Structure 1
Amino acid sequence: MIKKTTIDKVFEATRLEEVIGDFVQLKRSGSNLKGLSPFTDERTPSFMVSPVKQIWKDFSSGKGGNVIAFLMEHEHFSYPEAIKYLAKKYAIEIEETQQTDEEKKIADERESLYLVNKFAAEYFSNQLLKTSQGKAIGLSYFKERGFTTETIQKFQLGYSPDQWEAFTQEALSKSYQLTFLEKTGLTIVKEEKKFDRFKGRVMFPIHSMSGRVLGFGGRILDNTKKAAKYLNSPESDIYHKSKILYGIYFAKQAIAKQDICYLVEGYTDVIQLHQRGVENVVASSGTALTPEQIRLIKRLTNNITVLFDGDAAGMRASLRGIDLILEQDLNVKVCAFPEGEDPDSFAKKNNQEQIQAFLNENAQDFIQYKASLLVEEAQNDPIKRAETIRDMVGSISKIPDAIKQEVYIKTCAKLMDISEEILYSSLAQLMAGKQKSDVTKPKPQPMEVVKLQEAKPRINRQHALERNIISLLLRYGNILSEFQDFAFKLTDEGEVFLEPEIQEAKVYEKVYLDLQEDEIKFTHPDFKVLYDKIMETFQAKGELKVDSFIQDLSPAEAQEVTSILMQQEREQLHRWEDQEIYVKNKSELEPREVNETILNLRLFLIKQKVNELLEKVKDNPELHHEEIIMETMDYKALETVIAKKLGRVL
């Protein structure tokens, strides 16, 4: 187990905005930062980070918490894994207590798969760099590709020996279980036999966005063998090829910083460009581009440039996947290399300045490029020309932004020498067809609508008030302030009146004493637990620091606290000020809000008690009513007093 002193050092050094910035493109929004949700598919930001409070909230999925919660949600880390990741990032030495054999046994399966892949990456790397076979076959291949030793080590490139069980036997001798070797796909088990999947191949580890090895790609070097040129790890609990991009771990910071991502096809394309200084590049690893992969890029930037090989067949194949990028509302450009060149070969022959200059000068808007290419192919063939127009309008229909659609329609009309009206008409037909296909459920009948409305849960006012008290304690509990209360006084004529009194106290003291005076207990179980923990913290330390308080909460409690604290940030996302609607800023304490919240809760409970007494009379007509009536009148009198304090008329 990791020592408490190490955990404390990690939290002291960690900056939430820096950690999340490695995974999500964040932009300043007042004192906070905002970005697109990394957990859902969205086009407008609903993800907020508070550097001051060191918490985050994703309003689209409801998730939130501190830096550990983010890593556990986003990277599926366990708590110790998250601590170790942060310790590595901030160069903090990990101190651990010795794990027992029993603790090692209960390590979850997911972690076991990661550990097996980590061992495999190290094994393949050692085979490449330290064995005669690896140097002669694997290392010489990478050197021929122009990769430096530094690059080879950075990308953890390796070599799998040309022997049936070399890796498997080594892993088993190190106490790695065959079950996990098989589940990662590193070992193939058939009946009584077991052998290495990547036998005789150079190895390309595939990393997650946080740098963990998810799987491998292996390239065979012996062309005489009847085997696939490239072989990838099979799908597993940790490796889903449709959801990962090769090189994303090494490219993420450059993509976010330069606000553009270059998309290529192969591993070597990524590595060669990266080695030349163009680091904001990723590959789809030879698979068809998927929406999940595009959303991975969108977390970092809205700008993608797809790099094509110089051959026409390759261009047409790549064009087919770009409609998916348009659907995600990203800005897409394409750049074709000279005939006979691909990103790898071109980067090998040029330095960073030359490569960047070529990309800047030759990158074209996708729609314009596609239109020019297809028009050239169609030439004077009327049928091909008609197909080309339909193809172009189909691509434009994928774009969610109506303004962009109009701009592209005008551009295509000029390029194809066709009227805008025809293109608009075709677009309208396509859009209508899309909307029709999207409707999968029949509209509910009137009776169904009534049932849906009846099923809608009502807001529990007491729970809402309890939540508001938690909010006040979290936001202002430490603050010393003056509170106006009222005391009963008598006039010379003997009439009762309320006289204002000023009391000085910290907010948490004011709340605690007022609730104690009326013996008010929280009814919502989650809020009761939070209230008790908050008060325990204040009484023990005299203050509450959100970033350290949230560390000791369960994930569910931390999520609720984050939701409460980030409510103001949620209102910022709606940009009410653009509509001249100004939301009150809650960064400063208003003592009146504390008084009113407590009084509203008192008033609610009094009304609830009055209703209970009336129901008691109604259900039991034989009861002696005088005592109940007197008790009811006392409560109604108290209700009137509280209403006066609130400035209301009953």
Structure 2
Amino acid sequence: MRINPETVDRIKQASDIVEVVGDFVSLKKKGANYSACCPFHNEKTPSFNVNPSRQIYKCFGCGAAGDSIKFVMDIDGIGYGEALRYLAGKYNIEIEEEEVTDEEAIRQNERESLYIILNYAKNFYQQQLHHSEEGQAIGLSYFRERGFSAEIRKKFELGYSLDTWDAFSREAMSKGHSADLLEKAGLLIRKEDNGPANRHSPGYDRFRGRVIFPIHNVAGKVIAFGARILKSEKGGNAKQANQPKYLNSPETDVYHKSEVLYGIFQAKNAIRNQELCYLVEGYTDVISLHQAGIENVVASSGTSLTTEQIRLISRFAPNVTILYDGDIAGIKAALRGLDLVLEEGLNVNIVLFPDGEDPDSYVRKVGAEAFKAYLRQASKDFITFKTEILLKDAGNDPFRQAAVIGEVVNSIIKIPEAIKRQVFFHRTSEMMKVDEQMLITEGNKLLRKQQTQKSQEKTNRRPASEQENPNAIDEVIGTFQARNEELPADLFAPEMPEAEPVLRTKLYYQEEAFMKLLVLYGTKELEPSITVCQYVLGEVEGIDFSDTVFHHLLTLFRENYNRNQVLPTDYFLHHHEPEIRNLTIGWLATKYELSELWSEKYEIYVPFETDVLDKTAFINILRLKKAFIEEKMKACLAQAVHAKTEEEQHAVMSEYMFYKGISMAAAKELGSVIG
């Protein structure tokens, strides 16, 4: 089925770019627009711009641009139709569909099919929890024992899978879902020749006799499931013997465990509002804290924290507090992986619970208010927490204490901001009773060692003729050490790969400026009944653009103007060709905005482009013609070099001087120093 055009128009009109982007990224008001760190590439300084008046976004770092639909497609990795359905659901718009051909149905995005079957599975498990005898007796009883209210169960869409081999898959296939799709979604396991399912079934359900925890992406779509077995081995039957306590969906096209945080959809607004994210380990930890009114919490689901998960948190808040149970051995192992969080620029705190307690058990034991008070009282920054833990473990052994210094300094140098590093070097020197400069020197040594290894690896990958001097880094460091100076903080900054240079002529930039003027202001009147489009097109008759996209745009304007139509900006903003659409968004988006203080406080009037359109149009035409003539001059010089006779060379140079005169006249008009 295809969404009909009228419904698509309603969805586009209802969608607000600030609301849509704000569901995924923490936006800050900046003049008339909003800004944030781009969710499509890693950055520390915000370059992502949202324009509410034009309903577009643009990243000045990676170039990502589009409208609400494009944003949902890119952020969630889904197709156009699924993005429309997401926005329709967000704005409570009833979707009207029309029939598609068999060929179009076959071409439907497989990812969309996975979302559909996963959502169907979620509904099935919820129905079994509340309406089957087994689900009520086992699953519902378990959730009630944990204190999960009906509201919380609905919020996290909890369910139950029946303790039978193929209850779900049989029901799903009876509704038209294929066994192949069930397998790709991680819901069905294909049976072996002598498998446990009956011979009429293609396989058996992955989740059987377990409570179900649906896993959502940031947009709220179900992408996977976690499942916990409840019957003990002694109390259960033979089928349940030796089964793991928790079972999770496998990796699929829509589920990558390293990129997902459990509860992020339910928690993102609270995380953004409080600028703080609590990170726990398990599903029930998240749900129990929500039950207690602490909603800015997510879980890593038992995996080591990954860079992708850290960046997902950073899209909503700069601060993260990790909640650990009292298992010191487990904490020491986890501490090594937390340097990743520091590298991404987040402020990391740690809370340690009493022995034998975890967030779930502790909040049920002491209650919500006491739990919140404990979080405030027990929270310590990561560097301080790590130092205390390792020093306690080292005791009075000087060798182990020295190793602790190396461990802590190695974490401090991961912090990107120089001021924060200095603060932690000072605090650590006080805690460990060692000289602060010694810690800084040790940090420089570690940086030197790491960078030398990286440089050596890079050198080894190059041909022998291109290898750099291996002693160059040592020489630079030696110079600083000889002066008894601290190494610059950015001396060992990671080297960025060089981008391929884009060779563009002066004519290209003049053509772009001309087309930008036409696309953005073509319908504006310079004087009564004379539009910008009419004026500039009349001045460039006989000129064809060299760039194919600009030539195409100019042709569109000319053809429509001949039909007495002037194409508006919105025509190009929603053009079916992505290149034209992205060019228009780039021209509309502004990286910097003029402060209102110029006029309000200092009474300084700065004219906008729309205030001087007549002058801008005139200058653009002159510059375009000048660049066009200069290309003609270059062509003449090339012909002169290859001229075979003196007469031919003289004719070419006469043509060159003719163009030169026009160029000089244009330069004089423009006020250029050199013609």
TM-score (norm 2): 0.84
What residue ranges of structure 1 are gaps of 5+ in the alignment? 483-502, 574-581
Q: Aligned residue for 1:602?
A: 625
> How far did residue 218 of structure 1 move?
1.1
RMSD: 2.9
**Partner secondary structure for residue 160 of structure 2:** strand
**Partner secondary structure for residue 3 of structure 2:** coil
Q: Distance in 2 between matches of 1:537 and 1:115?
A: 43
> How far did residue 270 of structure 1 move?
0.7
Q: Aligned residue for 2:538?
A: 513
**Partner secondary structure for residue 189 of structure 2:** strand
Q: Write the mapping of 1:4-403 to structure 2, written as runs, cut at 5 A.
A: 4-192=5-193, 193=195, 194-224=203-233, 225-403=241-419
Q: Aligned residue for 1:419?
A: 435
8 A Cα contact 2:533 2:566, kept in partner: no
Q: 1:458 to 1:105 in 2, by over 3 A?
A: closer
- AA of the residue aligned to 1:512: L
- AA of the residue aligned to 1:515: V
> How far did residue 358 of structure 1 move?
2.6
- AA of the residue aligned to 2:667: A
8 A Cα contact 2:82 2:112, kept in partner: no
- Is residue 514 of structure 2 the alignment partner of residue 469 of structure 1? yes
Q: Distance in 2 between matches of 1:382 and 1:13?
A: 67
155-164 vs 439-448, which moves further = 439-448
221-230 vs 521-530, which moves further = 521-530
354-363 vs 164-173, which moves further = 354-363
- AA of the residue aligned to 1:645: E
Q: Write the mapping of 1:531-570 to structure 2, written as runs, cut at 5 A.
A: 531-533=554-556, 542=566, 544-546=568-570, 549-566=572-589, 568-569=590-591
Q: Aligned residue for 1:641?
A: 665
Q: Distance in 1 between matches of 2:607 and 2:426?
A: 45
Q: Aligned residue for 1:527?
A: 550
Which of 516, 522, 526 aligns to 1:481? It is: 526
8 A Cα contact 1:32 1:49, kept in partner: yes
Q: Which string of whole-angstrom CA distances, capped at 9 and with x for unpartnered residues, describes residues 94-120 of structure 1?
A: 122233443322212222222221111
> How far did residue 536 of structure 1 move?
6.6
**Partner secondary structure for residue 285 of structure 1:** coil
Q: Distance in 2 between matches of 1:531 and 1:66?
A: 24
Q: Distance in 2 between matches of 1:371 and 1:610?
A: 71
- AA of the residue aligned to 2:114: L
**Partner secondary structure for residue 398 of structure 1:** coil
Q: Distance in 2 between matches of 1:62 and 1:289?
A: 29
Q: Which string of whole-angstrom CA distances, capped at 9 and with x for unpartnered residues, describes residues 124-151 of structure 1?
A: 1111111111111111111111111221
Q: 1:202 to 1:585 in 2, by over 3 A?
A: farther
Q: Aligned residue for 1:489?
A: none
Q: 1:81 to 1:522 in 2, by over 3 A?
A: same
Q: 1:545 to 1:361 in 2, by over 3 A?
A: farther
Q: Distance in 2 between matches of 1:639 and 1:504?
A: 32
8 A Cα contact 2:510 2:627, kept in partner: no
- AA of the residue aligned to 2:207: F
586-595 vs 82-91, which moves further = 586-595
Q: Distance in 2 between matches of 1:527 and 1:232?
A: 52
> How far did residue 229 of structure 1 move?
1.0
> How far did residue 447 of structure 1 move?
8.3
Q: 1:530 to 1:82 in 2, by over 3 A?
A: farther
**Higher RCO (Cα < 8 Å, 6 or more apart):** 1
17-26 vs 434-443, which moves further = 434-443
Q: Distance in 2 between matches of 1:536 and 1:87?
A: 36
Q: 1:180 to 1:420 in 2, by over 3 A?
A: same
**Partner secondary structure for residue 552 of structure 1:** coil
> How far did residue 163 of structure 1 move?
1.0
> How far did residue 277 of structure 1 move?
1.6
- AA of the residue aligned to 1:176: H
- AA of the residue aligned to 1:198: F
**Partner secondary structure for residue 204 of structure 1:** strand
> How far did residue 545 of structure 1 move?
4.3
Q: Aligned residue for 1:410?
A: 426
Q: Distance in 2 between matches of 1:478 and 1:545?
A: 8
Q: Which string of whole-angstrom CA distances, capped at 9 and with x for unpartnered residues, describes residues 396-448 of structure 1?
A: 12212222112111111111222223322321211111222232323899989
What residue ranges of structure 2 are gaps of 5+ in the alignment? 196-202, 234-240, 469-496, 596-603
**Partner secondary structure for residue 441 of structure 1:** helix
8 A Cα contact 1:69 1:555, kept in partner: no
Q: Aligned residue for 1:499?
A: none
> How far did residue 633 of structure 1 move?
5.0
- AA of the residue aligned to 2:52: P
8 A Cα contact 1:66 1:550, kept in partner: no
Q: Distance in 2 between matches of 1:126 and 1:445?
A: 67
8 A Cα contact 2:79 2:109, kept in partner: no
111-120 vs 584-593, which moves further = 584-593
**Partner secondary structure for residue 169 of structure 1:** helix
Q: Distance in 2 between matches of 1:401 and 1:12?
A: 42
- AA of the residue aligned to 1:5: E
8 A Cα contact 2:57 2:65, kept in partner: yes
8 A Cα contact 2:211 2:227, kept in partner: yes
Q: Which string of whole-angstrom CA distances, capped at 9 and with x for unpartnered residues, describes residues 558-583 of structure 1?
A: 222222333x316999xxxxxxxx9x
TM-score (norm 1): 0.88
Q: 1:631 to 1:366 in 2, by over 3 A?
A: closer
Q: Distance in 2 between matches of 1:100 and 1:611?
A: 55
- AA of the residue aligned to 2:671: G
Q: Aligned residue for 2:458?
A: 441
Q: Distance in 2 between matches of 1:112 and 1:438?
A: 44
Q: Which string of whole-angstrom CA distances, capped at 9 and with x for unpartnered residues, describes residues 230-278 of structure 1?
A: 1111111111100110011111111111111010000011111112221
- AA of the residue aligned to 1:35: A
- AA of the residue aligned to 1:372: E
Q: 1:232 to 1:456 in 2, by over 3 A?
A: same
> How far did residue 210 of structure 1 move?
0.5
Q: Which string of whole-angstrom CA distances, capped at 9 and with x for unpartnered residues, describes residues 437-493 of structure 1?
A: 2323238999899xx99x8553222221111122222333333236xxxxxxxxxxx
> How far did residue 533 of structure 1 move?
4.5
8 A Cα contact 2:321 2:348, kept in partner: yes
552-561 vs 210-219, which moves further = 552-561
Q: Distance in 1 between matches of 2:380 and 2:204?
A: 48
Q: Distance in 1 between matches of 2:594 and 2:318?
A: 22
> Alignment identity in percent?
41
Q: 1:525 to 1:543 in 2, by over 3 A?
A: closer
8 A Cα contact 1:207 1:248, kept in partner: yes
8 A Cα contact 2:522 2:567, kept in partner: yes
> How far did residue 632 of structure 1 move?
4.7
Q: Aligned residue for 2:238?
A: none
- AA of the residue aligned to 2:516: S
Q: Distance in 2 between matches of 1:373 and 1:525?
A: 64
8 A Cα contact 1:254 1:280, kept in partner: yes
- AA of the residue aligned to 1:468: A
**Partner secondary structure for residue 234 of structure 1:** coil
